[in-house]
Chains A and B, each alone.
Chain A
Amino acid sequence: MLRKLLKYEFKATGRVMLPVLLALLAVSGLLNICVRVTEHSEGTVISFVTGMLAFLYVMAILAIGVVALVALVYRFYKNLLSDEGYLMFTLPVSVHSLVWAKLITAIVWLIAAFLDIVLSLFVLAAPLRLGWGIEFVQFIGQVFDELAAVGINGLEIAAFALELLLIVILGIIGSCLVFYTALSLGHSFSNHKMLLSVGFYFAIGFVTQIVVVMLLIGLGTTLDGTEFNYVYTLRSALNLGHATLLGICLSTLLYDAVLYFGTTFMLKRRLNLP
């Protein structure tokens, strides 16, 4: 059932996201052409147009971020907590599937938006010379070689990259879930649903900050009391790095889990459609 939900979710969000993503590529393509033309002519009109396109390009990048965020948060509200909720919550699917469908689409679109921005930079730089690609690969190879020379092998780098990627994805999930939790808390009331949702959003942020600060103080005082016989070697430094990243992963996962539980609990037990 999750597959079917995802199909409709992508259809609904794609209506908004695809045009915006394509628009950025179109603007960068046009900008590329205009820059080329201005290199060979000195018309005021063309340089004005080029300037406008450059401005438009920056605005389009900002717009993608805003549209993605608004589209994904608004989608959760519109599809689950407004009148459409009568359709969605009477489908023979679990609340978990409904929330996961929203989460997965959000993650995919945010990643797509990132890739789209990278792609637009390539379009700006087009036509790409093959030489650049070769140079780039050589450069990366060099970096790996140098790291290997001091004893950091490819596996180590892959592990770090994986840990960072995990943190990014867990972070995206967390930032979506804060919106979802706030909306489902606010909409469990009969009146002032949106106002309360905004309030809950800031309240969750506030509580999270307090908890994080308390935990850091706790961690600091515990470490302060313990004696370290820490011998600085490359290995121990790398291990400390892994430990820190995995610690961040775990705490983000815990944060996500709490919010996920909050969202699904509210939608299951305290749903109060208008």
Chain B
Amino acid sequence: MVNFECRALSKNFGHVQALENVDIRVESGRVVGLLGPNGSGKTTLIKLANGLLTPDSGEVLIGGMAPGPETKAMVSYQPDRPYLPQWMKARELIKFYEDFYPDFDTARALDMLSRLGVPSDRRIKQMSKGTQEKVQLILVMSRRARLYLLDEPIGGVDPATRDFILDTILRNFDENASIVISTHLISDVEKVLDDVVFINNGRVMLQSSVDDIRERNGMSVDALFREVFKC
């Protein structure tokens, strides 16, 4: 089953070609790394998949459908920036997610909140940047979604939390779901990835399984990335 697909997808911002003729297929059960240097088009691709941008040509399909309210119910999205209303408390946000997403697992969210030591009755505004990011990840990972789109999800948290989150992702991973993680912290996520997509200047440079890379190139994804994107 294909959970996420881009067909000849292109997007411009004025004269800047952010994505050019991108074809990507993400099957269920796969954890895919969307890897590329800054400004390569990772965020644009993920925003298109969430219906936050409209493609100029080509199409994006989530479970076979163009982005809309139905696909948004299937996608759990972590933007690359703080997006939670600053006045709300962690507890209120859990209620908010529970209200809007039928697939939200409140018990899991509360459990993660206490494990990561996030005070549930504190406002987002009063939390440190790292704690805010923890709350975002808890909310996003507590959904039983079909497709997780995580844009730079682990940039701001400490390594221990990072491990905990990656463990949680793997432990709760459903056979029918897929995860797309955009990042440039490759060594940290490499162990959880099944496939990788290398993207640069809006074009897909390489699409392969991690096993193939190790067999064919005889190197880790991190090493290959450094070679491909050598400055």
Contacts and interface: CB of A to CB of B under 8 A. Distances in A.
Contact of A270 (B54, B69, B77, B81): B54
Interface of B: 13-14, 47, 50-54, 69-70, 72-73, 75, 77, 79, 81-85, 87, 96, 99-101
B53 A8 contact: no
Given A1-B100, A273-B47, 20 more contacts: A4-B99, A7-B99, A8-B99, A15-B87, A79-B85, A83-B79, A85-B83, A86-B52, A86-B81, A87-B85, A89-B52, A90-B50, A90-B72, A90-B77, A91-B100, A92-B101, A271-B52, A271-B53, A271-B54, A273-B52
A243 to B, nearest CB: 42
Interface of A: 1, 4, 7-8, 12, 15, 79, 83-87, 89-94, 190, 268-273
Given A4-B100, A271-B52, A272-B53, A87 B84 contact: yes
Contact of A84 (B51, B52, B69, B83): B83
A8 to B, nearest CB: 7
A87 B100 CA distance: 11
Contacts of A86: 52, 77, 79, 81, 83
A90 B69 contact: no
A92 B14 contact: no
Nearest to B16: A190
B13 A90 contact: no
A83 B53 contact: no
A212 to B, nearest CB: 33
Contacts of A15: 87
A92 B87 contact: no
B69 A93 contact: yes
Nearest to A84: B85
Contacts of A273: 47, 52
B83 A83 contact: yes
B69 A83 contact: no
B22 to A, nearest CB: 19
B54 A90 contact: no
A94 B81 CA distance: 23
A79 B79 CA distance: 15
A93 B100 contact: yes
Grouping DSSP codes into helix (H, G, I), strand (E, B) and loop, the A interface class, with mixed when no group exceeds half, is loop
A87 B73 CA distance: 13
14 contacts: A4-B99, A15-B87, A83-B82, A85-B83, A86-B52, A87-B83, A87-B84, A90-B75, A91-B72, A92-B72, A92-B101, A94-B69, A190-B13, A271-B53
Contacts of A91: 72, 100
A8 B96 contact: yes
B73 A92 contact: yes
A115 to B, nearest CB: 26
B204 to A, nearest CB: 24
Contacts of A4: 99-100
Contact of A92 (B13, B47, B69, B96): B69
A83 B96 contact: no
A51 B100 CA distance: 51
B133 to A, nearest CB: 13
A272 B13 CA distance: 10
Nearest to A272: B53
A272 B56 CA distance: 13
A8 B88 CA distance: 10
Contacts of A8: 96, 99
A187 to B, nearest CB: 12
A55 B84 CA distance: 40
A6 to B, nearest CB: 12
A269 B13 contact: no
A182 B52 CA distance: 19
A89 B81 CA distance: 15
A161 B73 CA distance: 44
A269 B68 CA distance: 12
Contacts of A190: 13-14
Nearest to B93: A87
A90 B101 contact: no
A273 B81 CA distance: 11
A4 B102 CA distance: 13
Nearest to B51: A89
B82 A92 contact: no
Nearest to B99: A4
Contacts of A92: 69-70, 72-73, 100-101
A12 B88 CA distance: 9
Contacts of B83: 83-87
B35 to A, nearest CB: 22
B44 to A, nearest CB: 11
